[in-house]
Structure 1
Amino acid sequence: MNRLIGLVLLLAGLAYPFAVYYGQQHLAPRFFALLLGGLWLARFLSQGQKPGSRGMAIAALGFCVLLGLADSPTLLRWYPALISLFGLTLFGLSLKYGPPMVERLARLHEPELPEVAIAYTRQVTKVWVGFFIFNAALVSALTLWAPLSWWTLYTGLISYVLMGMLFAGEWLVRQRVRGHV
């Protein structure tokens, strides 16, 4: 059930910028708050005792409550920045308390990582921290000063292209480092 909720949240996040673009003319922000809040509440209730996930769910629920009370179309545009801050928090705290997030992911495929790979995963985690800082700052700037169409283009397409390029670039570097290219 937890994976299904995670998948629905992911799909809702992908569709969110376009839903805001279309919905701002047709739906009250409270409608978005209710939908998002329901998904995040389900995630919260299904998380068990995972502190980081529960903390993110509580923060997202707080955002949904604020959105519902304010019923502000402008507030709708802050959700992608919040999600970037979640990524920043997860990756950043993993650098402090370890193991780094990229190392955790790498160990899913290769449980016994050599020391050089562990150092490499730490550096890649730092790159992702930088990306999340950049993304949150740019989404915030677009929210404050850009037209809705620019915000939608960036949060609904360009940011995902940038993430894909980062994934692909890291994969190419990893292949070179491992001697496979």
Structure 2
Amino acid sequence: MSETRRFSLQLVAAFARWAMPVAIIAYPVAVWCGLKNWGMSILAPLLIIAFILRLLTFRGKLNQLTFFGKAMAVAGIVLVITSVVLRETSMLLYYPVAVNVLLLGLFFSSLFARQSLVERLARLSEPDLPPEGVVYTRRVTQIWCLFFVCNGSFALYTCLKGDVSLWALYNGGISYLLIGLLMGIEWIIRKRLRKP
């Protein structure tokens, strides 16, 4: 293989690794715009390509995260194919619900492991986590579980309501703001607790 071709393949892979997360995050807006302007004949193939590329390029810091990332991509592919086969565009709206269910499963199951998911992530930067840090990370994991139950429930409500604009507003905007708010609050609390 020539150097030029190898470089081109590396460039495409790097682009896919960075562009695919953005595409998946923008899923609600993409579906809203796609259903409004293009229809399923254009939207479905684009979504399938995005999810397949995400499936092939996802790399997580932990095995659990890699499995989760691939499961998210598979859930997206299944929902798009189901939507096409049933000729029911509303199936596309259930992706945020599936993501919340998968995240809840990931965080909740880690509470029964030796280390919670948040503890494992914390140990990537601080391997010698003190006992109070272990208790704190377990509590944070529980809070995220509660968040995913609430967020997933409201995402399901927006699906059942059938208002695509409301669905896109919540799942493509408000939901991310709530995630950012929770992360920000947790960061502030963590910094305060770590002060001597």
TM-score (norm 2): 0.78
TM-align CA RMSD: 2.5
Q: How many angstroms does 1:42 deviate by?
A: 3.2
Q: Which amino acid aligns with 2:50?
A: L
State the partner residue of 1:35.
46
| Count of residue pairs brought into register by the alignment | 180
State the partner residue of 1:8.
19
Choose from 130, 154, 158 the match for 2:146. Answer: 130
Q: How many angstroms does 1:6 deviate by?
A: 4.9
Distance 1:148 1:32 in 2: 15
State the partner residue of 1:118.
134
Instruction: Quickly say closer, same or farther: Cα 1:58–1:25, change in 2 above 3 A.
Output: closer
Instruction: Quickly say closer, same or farther: Cα 1:112–1:134, change in 2 above 3 A.
Output: same
Unaligned runs of 5+ in 2: 1-9
The higher-RCO structure (CA 8 Å, 6+ apart) is 1
Distance 1:114 1:79 in 2: 38
Choose from 116, 140, 164 the match for 1:100. Answer: 116
SS of residue paired to 1:25: helix
Q: Which amino acid aligns with 2:169?
A: L
Q: How many angstroms does 1:85 deviate by?
A: 1.6
Matches within 5 A, 1:49-68: 51-68=67-84
Q: Which amino acid aligns with 1:76?
A: L
Q: Does 1:168 align with 2:181?
A: no
Distance 2:14 2:150 in 1: 28
- Contact 1:30/1:67, CA 8 A, preserved across alignment: no
Q: Does 1:18 align with 2:34?
A: no
SS of residue paired to 1:97: coil
Q: How many angstroms does 1:5 deviate by?
A: 4.2
Distance 1:128 1:57 in 2: 21
- CA offsets per residue over residues 18-49 of structure 1, 9 Å max, x none? 22222212223354332332233334345699
- Greater Cα offset, 50-59 or 7-16: 50-59
- CA offsets per residue over residues 62-107 of structure 1, 9 Å max, x none? 2232122123221221111112122112212222234211112211
Distance 2:189 2:163 in 1: 37
Larger Rg: 2
User: Could you list the runs of 4 or more consecutive aligned residues of structure 1 that deviate by over 6 angstroms after TM superposition?
Assistant: none
Distance 1:117 1:30 in 2: 51
Distance 2:52 2:29 in 1: 23
TM-score (norm 1): 0.84
Instruction: Quickly say closer, same or farther: Cα 1:134–1:7, change in 2 above 3 A.
Output: farther
